[in-house]
Amino acid sequence: MAQQATSPFPKEDSILDRLTDQAIPADNALLLADELSCAMLDTLHPHLDLISRKSSSHIDDLHVHLRKRRAITIAEHARLHLVWDSDTVYLKPLPVCLLSPDFWDLHLPPGSPTRPQALGFMRT
């Protein structure tokens, strides 16, 4: 029986070939959990229907934010990712290790506590 792939993309589409790449953190589990933690959003998630529909159709593309004259600002905290106000939209850069299928296989298998956050971050 073939082993089920756990990466959200095929290995042939990977831009990182090996786990020995410098971008892979040594203390993965703790670092990645901290990098992707959105505790406030997790708490608010059941109530978001009160202010908006939970749909990706309500997420503007970056060029739309630019057309609305919003500055794109890099944010280190995941809690600010895709948050915007009248003139700024905040983006958290993608952790490079999430581009490695081997990293997903080893550190983000199905059932991993950090996997849902990693998948959500990849989706955005």
Residue 94 lies in a domain: yes
C-alpha to C-alpha distance for 2 and 64, rounded to whole angstroms? 43
The pLDDT score that the predictor gives to residue 24 is: 53
- The number of folded domains in the chain is 1
Residue 12 lies in a domain: no
Token representation of residue 64: 């739309």
The pLDDT score that the predictor gives to residue 87 is: 94
Residue 107 lies in a domain: yes
**Which of the residues in the chain have pLDDT under 50?**
1-2
The pLDDT score that the predictor gives to residue 71 is: 96
Q: For the chain, how are helix, strand and coil distributed in percent, rounded to 5? A: 45, 5, 50
Residue 66 lies in a domain: yes
The pLDDT score that the predictor gives to residue 109 is: 86
The pLDDT score that the predictor gives to residue 1 is: 41
> Which structural domain range is residue 56 located in?
27-123
Query: What's this model's pTM, rounded to 2 decimal places?
Result: 0.71
Residue 85 lies in a domain: yes
Distance, CA of 47 to chain centre: 21
Residue 11 lies in a domain: no
Which is it for the CA torsion 42, 44, 46, 48, positive or negative? negative
The string of pLDDT tens digits covering residues 12-38 is 777 776 655 555 555 666 778 888 887
Residue 10 lies in a domain: no
Residue 9 lies in a domain: no
